[in-house]
Chain A
Amino acid sequence: MPAVRSARVPLDTARVILPRGQVHVIPHRCKECRFCVDFCPKDVLALSTETNAKGYRYPVVAPGKDEACVHCEFCTLVCPEYAIFTVEVPRVEVMA
């Protein structure tokens, strides 16, 4: 999907701090539907190289995307198995 670029930059861009999320996964619930991987607006997730006990590859944070999650919670909402969620990282830790 092509990245959407805005022609105008919002006035408060410098002041706004993007939230940061930490991805948590419950591997044994995953059935590899790939909704979280494909619908993540920041392309944070990728499928794991190993599988869970049922043979499904579960989502993991893709290489180099450790700090890319913005805690939009869409993966939490769209996961049919309740197997992934994000937790907002406290602001002090984001600034550090």
Chain B
Amino acid sequence: MTMSTLIAERHPSDPLFRADRLPHIWCPGCGIGPAMHAYAQAMVESGIPLARHVCVSGIGCTGRVPGYLNMDSYHTTHGRAIPFAMAIALVKPELEVTVYSGDGDLFAIGGNHFIHAARRNVDINVICINNFNYGMTGGQVGPTTPMGARATTAPFGNYEQPFNLPHLAAATGAVFVARWTSLHLRQLKQAMLRAMKKRGFTFIEVLAPCPVGFGRPNDIGDAMEEMTLYREGCVVDPAAPLDSLDIDLRVKDRPIVLGNFVDVERPVFDPLAMMRPTSEAENNTAVAGKTQEGQ
């Protein structure tokens, strides 16, 4: 017999979080919470022990994610999450290193680090929460703010062309590129599992509602309304041309394309390969504890 509602004190996922820090600081309806839950569940389901997972972030609302995860996690300086994670991945190749940060941190302040880590194909996962603005500092224009969208620093509308993040990641050399939203959580979790399994530089963009920073100046009533936009306006098309993935929330009929767009193999960054005897260099793909796909 089911009762109406039972009041609980603890959540089954609480052991994955620093539950004494909850409720977190994010605004009501923020999309970072569900995406962090998907990441925590993906870590458990990945089969890699939690002690071998590392989460690194920069600064921003999303930069607070490592502070809420009950694991080895690092909150680094603004934009420098990728070089920090790169060092961990090179010194301890047995670890599963994930950078979890926002669009401003990864693509404005840390933009150069992103393109060069992707070019070198460093063995890290990058998860970018894209909320189209600098949320923590009060809703300024960022590198992903759509054309025409209003923000604190663009009261008459943004006149900058934004980044198309999956296209950028694929062009600079990422071996796995996906885009989901904080509504498509089962698909997002599967993409994270694929990224954790894959060697090399993987990139997942997560579109997340920012009801206070982005929604309010752009006449999106609340987080529920932005989530409804995702539910009605998203199309899953993994075969879509990468240059067609621009997002423009102003145009009503233009769909937001989601999917796992790129899944290829490239040699993984290994700066010591040249110093090893040839036979060993050929085997450098077999790193302990990691599975090589397609073999």
Contacts and interface: CB of A to CB of B under 8 A. Distances in A.
B40 to A, nearest CB: 9
**Interface class of chain A by DSSP:** mixed
B84 interface: no
**Interface class of chain B by DSSP:** loop
Contact of A66 (B3, B8, B224, B227): B3
A66 B6 CA distance: 11
B186 to A, nearest CB: 7
Interface in A76-96: 76-83, 85, 89, 93, 96
A58 to B, nearest CB: 9
Contacts of B289: none
A77 B11 contact: no
A27 interface: yes
Contacts of A69: 2
Contacts of B10: 26
B8 A24 contact: yes
Given A81-B23, A85-B12, A20 B29 contact: no
Given A82-B33, A93-B1, A33 B11 contact: no
Interface residues on B, range: 35 or more
A77 B186 contact: yes
B11 A35 contact: no
B28 A31 contact: yes
A32 B211 CA distance: 13
B7 interface: yes
Contacts of B30: 80
Contacts of B78: none
Nearest to B29: A33
A35 B223 contact: yes
A78 B17 contact: no
B245 interface: no
A83 B223 contact: no
B3 A82 contact: no
Most A CB within 10 A of own CB, among B8, B27, B31:
B8
Nearest to B32: A80
B293 interface: no
Nearest to B185: A77
Nearest to A69: B2
A35 B29 contact: yes
A81 B31 CA distance: 10
Interface string A18-33: 0011111111110111
Contact of B33 (A21, A22, A79, A89): A79
Contacts of A79: 33-34, 37
Interface in B1-60: 1-14, 17, 22-24, 26-34, 37-38
Contacts of A85: 8, 11-13
Nearest to A23: B5
Interface string A52-82: 0000100111000011010000101111111
Contacts of A66: 2-4
A96 B12 CA distance: 27
Contacts of A35: 29, 34, 223-224, 227
22 contacts: A24-B8, A25-B6, A28-B23, A29-B22, A33-B222, A34-B29, A35-B224, A35-B227, A39-B183, A39-B227, A59-B5, A60-B4, A66-B2, A66-B4, A80-B31, A81-B24, A82-B11, A82-B22, A82-B33, A85-B12, A85-B13, A89-B2
Interface of B: 1-14, 17, 22-24, 26-34, 37-38, 182-183, 185-186, 222-224, 227-228
> Which are the 9 A-B pairs with shortest beta-carbon distances?
A80-B33, A31-B28, A33-B29, A24-B8, A60-B5, A61-B4, A77-B185, A29-B23, A82-B11
